[in-house]
Each structure stands twice: as structure tokens, then as C-alpha cells.
Structure 1
């Protein structure tokens, strides 16, 4: 028969739907999550002061669970800035610029370089690293600024971020909410990310080329010279650093940085490193690179500048994850987190609030692979409407666990599908205010970029959802 649902289960599900509704309205969900934590805490403990304490404890629990993700992204951003201000990033991609001669080459090469850089440096800092060098080359080859923005956006904030195979920040969040290992989400996401990426980028390319031919977009190019100020402000010291480092030193570092990360990839492959262990290797390498370049570039001020770069990185990391912590804190209550946070065990026979609800649904509703896949795509897309992409993927993981419990399989695939939908919509391909980095550096309107991305991304989501139905 299984465990009968209690008032606690119904209240938890009610808050899940309320959070979804608030996200649809594109309003912030932090307060609602806090209220949900308090109400559930009071129902579990029967004590107001313990419920209030539970709010703080849930934040601590969520922050502890997410800390390695916050740290790795902060460190990568810090390292990206030192590469930018020293001009090493320009030297890293300089050989590739010689291959860009036509609009088609500009689109695909810019996109692929952005993909690779985003895997290791995360998309937002990679926009500055790649755009500052490849944007003028791509425009000169005949690709309009909007086309350059699309390439960087779809390959970086789309393909690279939705899979996040190297840094593994996104899989960490969804895997924790779904209660499965990170490597399971990563493995399940590979075919889905490939299908989504292929359909989206090919569709976008076809529409772009057709538009260029019909409207002669290449003749209406606009400059994006000031766009990089959105992410990294240039100052007099940065100009000095560009001149202070010799061409030889820049070239040495330009070769050393990718070689070091490539060695990391080899180590990860040969030793089977996954999840936190893989993240630690990438993070440690990034710290080493940051410190070495800062010491060489800044000389006497090197020690202080290392700290300054870390501060810049942490500002970025906590800005991105500030909205995530309250949401993750609430959704961790759906699993074993409630025991750690509230100091209470679940009712006898319970497998966690989400699992209990999933099993109850299986008894009364004919949930199948098709319904589950469509639901996860819709939920993922809705959670991305806040323009973050990360803030709601814990919800996607929780709902994936619910449906997987109902149909008896497919939890990794459903989790990966929800993650992909959330990040493609909210991570920076459809929501205008999330498109600012790529739009700014290319000097285009973010709303124009969002409209241009809409059809390709929708085609990709539909195709990927259908493929997922056969993999569940």
C-alpha cells in the first residue's frame, strides 16, 4: 500500500506550485521559499522558535551543499579576469582568427571557441575573453554583430552551460535535488545536450544566413567596441599590463593555460574523477594559474592583486548564487535535508517528501514517459523565466525525482532534461535581461537577440523532449 500522504506532504506540494506560479509571473521567489521553510518547520517541530531557527539552518545547509559550486565558479571568473587584463586571452585565440574568412566560418568557429572556453572558464567571463578578440574578426568576415552574439550565446550559455561537463556546477544542483550521483546526471545529459545543441545551432545558422540574404544584414553592421565594459572595466593599469608583458611571455602563458587544463581532462579520464573530485582538480589548477600570472604581471603588487582578483571572483559568484540559496534550501527539504535541517526524522516508511508524493501519484494517475518528459521541459522552462537558469533547477531535480518514482525509471534522464530546459531558457538564450553579456560586447539589442534565438531554441526543446521520451 505504501505510506499515506500527510498534511506535511500536501503543504510541501502546495508551496512547490506557488513557487512555480511566482516564477511564471517573473517575480522573485525568495520570500515564498522562506515562508515555506518556516511553515514546514513548524509542522515538523511544533515550535515557532525552532521553525525560525530552521530557516537559518536551511540556508546553512544549502550554502554548505553548494559551496564547492560557488567556489569553483568564483575562482574561474577570477582567473578569467587576470587573463583578460594581461592580454593573454587575446594571445590564446589569435591563431584561430586566421581561419575566419567567411560569415559561415565566423559563426561556427566563434561558436566552437566559445563552447570550449565556456566549458573551462564558464560562459559569462568567456564572453569577454572570446568577444574582445573574435568579434571584430567575425564582423570583418561578413557576419553581422547579431550573428556573432547568437554564436557566442547559443554555444556558451546554451550548450556549454546546460551540460556543464567540466566544472559541473549545474549537474551538482540538479543531482542533489533529485537524490542521485552527479555522474548520473552528466552521463544522461550527454545525448540530450548533443541533440539540443545540434538542432538549435543548425536552425539558428540557417535562419541567419537566410536573413542575411534577404535583408542584406551584413551591410548594416554596428560597432561593439564598448561592449566589453559590461563585464570588465578597462583602466590605466590594465593598459600598462598589456604593454608590460612581452609577446613571448604572453605566448608562453597562452600555450600553458590550455595545456594545463587539457592535462586535467586527461587525469579526469584516466582516473575516473567525477563530481567534486573533478571540480577540485579544475579549481586548484585555476588558482595556480591565477597566482602565477598575477605575480608575473603585477610584480611588486602581485600579492595584493591575487587577493583583489579573488574578491572580484567571489563578488560574481555570490551575486549569481544569492537567489539560489533560499530556493535550494526549500527544495532540499523534499529529501533527506529535512532531517539535517529540522533535526527530525520523517514518518516511518517515508522515502522523502518528494518520493512519497511520486509514489502516491503512481497509484492514481497514469504517468508515462511522454507526460513526464513534457512536464519536465515545461517546468524547466518556467523556472528559467527569472533569467537566472540556476535558481530553479533544484525544483526541476525534485520534480524529476517525483515523476521517476511514479513511472519507476528515468530519473537521470528527466533530471538532465529539466536542467537543459531551465538553462537554455533562463541561462542566457531567451530572457532578454540574461542576454546582456553577449549583447553588450557585440553592441546589439538584447531583445533583438532574444527574438532571434526564440525559434531555434523552441525547435531544440521540442526535439530534445521527444528524444528524451525514448531514453526514459
Structure 2
């Protein structure tokens, strides 16, 4: 694999580093991302008007790509709004409140539940299920919303998705690219996923406990997105206690039926998320009809609009950065046009290939390089788009070294998905951030040190087991 890099690649790399630097400084990245898209457009098309159009079209592309996530977040928030205002949510989570009595239990119980559900249905529907039910419980137990988002990220989008042992979408892609059976990739990934998961989650927990003790992270009294306290008090008294208890049982039961349907009908990813979202809409409608009676038609719309406002408010700052990084993959051809060099696999993948081509090969360098290649390909925020490249590079490295193809393949898969699938890319963490009502950029900063430490130790372990 030999790709000739040109000005587009170097400009993309430069702006990637600039964006990361701005994020580290805790400043807004929108202007840098817009300039990056504009300059890439100028270089590719040599047309000022085309470059200006490219900026707007990149926003449209990003919104279209993110729309499913925006919608599931919006309808879940709309549903949780009326459940909280009426007091149903409080009754619904009371059994969990009795079990989860401190932040430590909240962190590990939520994380393990998230991991198990994500193994079967992938993280997006799991975030909706776990976040809607467990967030108030965790906050009541003293675990901050930011920490809830972090544990859902690390256990779901990290451990469960990077191994993908049940659905096997990720190992199938990497195994095909590496030219080895899926079973070999899964077997090789088990020790690496365990090391990565244990190191990252324990490190994150240690940092969390330290910051809770020092007061750097403060616990919230309760989760409340609603400003009108008087209206909330009125709504809590409309339904009888018997009706509220019934709805508190019916709501999780309906989501439980969703889980059964997902399992029986083999629904994953977008289909599973759509089932959860549709159920949330019907729960919102049912409760609205019971609470608002004659005004239900108008109130249903208000709850949906409230959810959409929340969703777009959360996603607003992320759309420019997503627009830039999507240009690293298929988005470039769809937004700017066919101006990439012949044989290009996308700007991000080309940079990964170039890195792989310039390093000397032995077990240690090979492991470090494949982790770097996986992480670079994860920068587009997909996690899955670059894992085929990771498999291809692993096959080349394994052949050159004479061993370790499966281990290198699994390592590249883990790096790509932990970075882009994701725990370190702002729009990849948005489902967890939005459900918990926290800043996605702050969440990625919170994830950064544990994930980097985990990837470093996992890479070292891979060197010894190749």
C-alpha cells in the first residue's frame, strides 16, 4: 500500500492538530473547523465559490449523519421531561435507589449494565435505556452526571464495542481485511479487551474519587432540566398514586419488551435505537393524554419541541467539528467532490497508511504503529470506518515480522473503536453526554487520560503476546 500524500493531506493533518490543541486549551473549535473545511475546499477545487458552498454542505452532511442520534436523544429527553414532572420517574427508580447507595456502587453497576446491554444491541440504544432510568439513581447516590456519562462511555462505547463479541460486526471487518478467520481475531482480542477495559475503568475511577474528594467535581442534588417549579408541583398532583405506580411499572416493562424484541428479531444498531425511540414517543403520548386530557394535543407537541431544543442545543457546538472530521472519510467526496488523489482511501486512511510505510518493523514498533494507525483512523468519529485499514496494515506487519497477525489486528480494532467509536471524539460521546446533560467536550477531556493510559498499557501487553 503506497499512497502519495499531497497538500490536502498535510492541511488536514495541520488542522487536526490545531483542533486538538484548541480543545486541550478548553476553547471553542468552531472557527478552526470552518477555516479547515474552507481551505480544503479551496485547495481541492481552486474555486472560492465552491469552497464557500463546501462549508455549508459540510454542515448539512454532518447533521444528516448525526440525525439519528439527535432524534433518539430528543425523544428520550421529551419522555423523561413528563415522567419527571409528574413524579413517575421518581417512583420508577426507587427500587434501584435502595440498591445503589453510594457513588462506587453507582459507577460499577451502571458500567456493567451498560457493557452487557451494549454487547447485545450496541451502545446507542443502551445509552438511551440506561441513562433514562439510572441517571437519577446515580445522582441521588452521589455520582455526578459527568461521571455517569463517563462510565457509560467507557463500558459501552469502549469495552463492549471494541470487542463486539456477540454481534461480531467489528471483528468481521478487521478479520476480512487481515485475511484471517473471525474466530482468530476474537480470541486474540479477549486478553487485550480485558486489559484495556480493566486499566481504563479503574484509572478513571481513581481519578474520579480523587476529584470528588478535592471538590474538583461536584455532585448534583438531583437531575432537573425543568425551570418552572410551580408547574412541576401541579403536574405531580394530577395523577393518583395508583396511576403513577402503574405507569412506573409499565414504562420499564415496555422497554423490557423492546429488549426481548431486539433479541428475537436480531435488531442492532440503528434498528434497535429506532425501536427504543418509538417506544419513548408512545410513552410520552400515553402519559400526556392522562395528565393533560383536553390540552394533550398541544402539550405533546410542546414536549417534543422541548426535546428537540435540548438535542440541537447539545449538538450545535459539535456540528462544525464533525463537519471537518467527516471530510477525512467518505464525506470529502460527497461534500467537496472527487478531488482526492488516485487510489486514495480517504484523507485519514491515507495518513494512516503513510505512517505504516515509514516505520521500521519489529514486534514493539509494529504494535505501537498499529495502535497509532487505529487511533488516527478513529479521528473521523466512526470507529468502524478505519478498522478495515487496521486489519490490512496488521496483515502486512504480521507477514513482515513473521507472527502476530491476529494480535495486531485486534489491537488496531481496539484503538480505532476506543478513539472513534467512541470515547475521545466529541460527537461520538454525545449520546451519553446529552442523556446526562453534560458538555461533550468536557466528557472527552475527562476520558482522555484513562483511555491514553489504557491504550499504552494494552499496546505493551500486545508486544509480549504476539
| Distance in 1 of aligned mates of 2:464 and 2:256 | 34
Matches within 5 A, 1:167-246: 225=221, 227-229=222-224, 231-233=225-227, 235-246=229-240
Contact 1:75 1:313 in 2 (8 A): yes
Superposed displacement of residue 150, structure 1: 8.9
Verify: 1:130 aligned to 2:137, yes or no.
yes
| Distance in 2 of aligned mates of 1:120 and 1:241 | 27
> Please, which of 366, 369, 383 is the counterpart of residue 367 of structure 2?
369
How many correspondences in the alignment?
412
Q: Identify the residue that residue 405 of structure 2 maps to in structure 1.
A: none
> Please, which of 320, 326, 330 is the counterpart of residue 314 of structure 2?
320
Verify: 1:415 aligned to 2:416, yes or no.
yes
Deviations 1:276-306 (A, max 9, x none): 2222111111111111111112222222221
Superposed displacement of residue 54, structure 1: 0.7
Superposed displacement of residue 404, structure 1: 5.7
Contact 1:81 1:309 in 2 (8 A): yes
- Relative to structure 1, the CA distance from residue 471 to residue 148 in structure 2 (aligned partners, 3 Å threshold; closer, same or farther) is farther
Deviations 1:145-169 (A, max 9, x none): 4x6779746544653565697xx9x
| Distance in 1 of aligned mates of 2:459 and 2:429 | 18
Verify: 1:42 aligned to 2:32, yes or no.
no
SS at match of 2:319: helix
Q: Identify the residue that residue 31 of structure 1 maps to in structure 2.
A: 31
> Please, which of 284, 298, 302 is the counterpart of residue 292 of structure 2?
298
Superposed displacement of residue 38, structure 1: 0.9
Verify: 1:285 aligned to 2:279, yes or no.
yes
Matches within 5 A, 1:54-453: 54-99=54-99, 119-121=126-128, 129-131=136-138, 135=140, 138=141, 145=142, 152=148, 155-156=151-152, 158-160=154-156, 225=221, 227-229=222-224, 231-233=225-227, 235-366=229-360, 368-373=366-371, 394=381, 406-408=393-395, 409-410=409-410, 411-419=412-420, 420-422=422-424
Contact 1:107 1:148 in 2 (8 A): no
- Relative to structure 1, the CA distance from residue 405 to residue 264 in structure 2 (aligned partners, 3 Å threshold; closer, same or farther) is same
Deviations 1:37-85 (A, max 9, x none): 1111111111101110111011111111111111111111111111111
| Distance in 1 of aligned mates of 2:219 and 2:35 | 47
| Distance in 2 of aligned mates of 1:346 and 1:378 | 18
- Relative to structure 1, the CA distance from residue 316 to residue 37 in structure 2 (aligned partners, 3 Å threshold; closer, same or farther) is same
| Distance in 2 of aligned mates of 1:294 and 1:371 | 55
| Distance in 1 of aligned mates of 2:24 and 2:210 | 33
Q: Identify the residue that residue 399 of structure 2 maps to in structure 1.
A: none
Contact 1:203 1:456 in 2 (8 A): yes
- Relative to structure 1, the CA distance from residue 86 to residue 31 in structure 2 (aligned partners, 3 Å threshold; closer, same or farther) is same
Superposed displacement of residue 269, structure 1: 2.0
Contact 1:369 1:407 in 2 (8 A): no
Q: Identify the residue that residue 53 of structure 1 maps to in structure 2.
A: 53
SS at match of 2:237: helix
- Relative to structure 1, the CA distance from residue 277 to residue 18 in structure 2 (aligned partners, 3 Å threshold; closer, same or farther) is same
Q: Identify the residue that residue 384 of structure 1 maps to in structure 2.
A: none
Superposed displacement of residue 338, structure 1: 1.4
| Distance in 1 of aligned mates of 2:209 and 2:36 | 49
SS at match of 2:42: helix
Contact 2:348 2:380 in 1 (8 A): no
- Relative to structure 1, the CA distance from residue 437 to residue 246 in structure 2 (aligned partners, 3 Å threshold; closer, same or farther) is same
Q: Identify the residue that residue 10 of structure 1 maps to in structure 2.
A: 10
SS at match of 1:368: helix
SS at match of 1:359: helix
SS at match of 1:244: coil
Deviations 1:220-239 (A, max 9, x none): xx9965x444x333522221
- Structure 1 residues 461-470 or 91-100, which shifts more? 461-470
- Structure 1 residues 261-270 or 76-85, which shifts more? 261-270
Gaps of 5+ in 2: 118-123, 165-169, 177-181, 396-408
Structure-1-length-normalised TM-score: 0.69
| RMSD over equivalenced CA pairs, Å | 4.9
- Relative to structure 1, the CA distance from residue 160 to residue 355 in structure 2 (aligned partners, 3 Å threshold; closer, same or farther) is closer
SS at match of 1:331: helix
Verify: 1:22 aligned to 2:26, yes or no.
no
Superposed displacement of residue 256, structure 1: 1.5
- Relative to structure 1, the CA distance from residue 258 to residue 303 in structure 2 (aligned partners, 3 Å threshold; closer, same or farther) is same
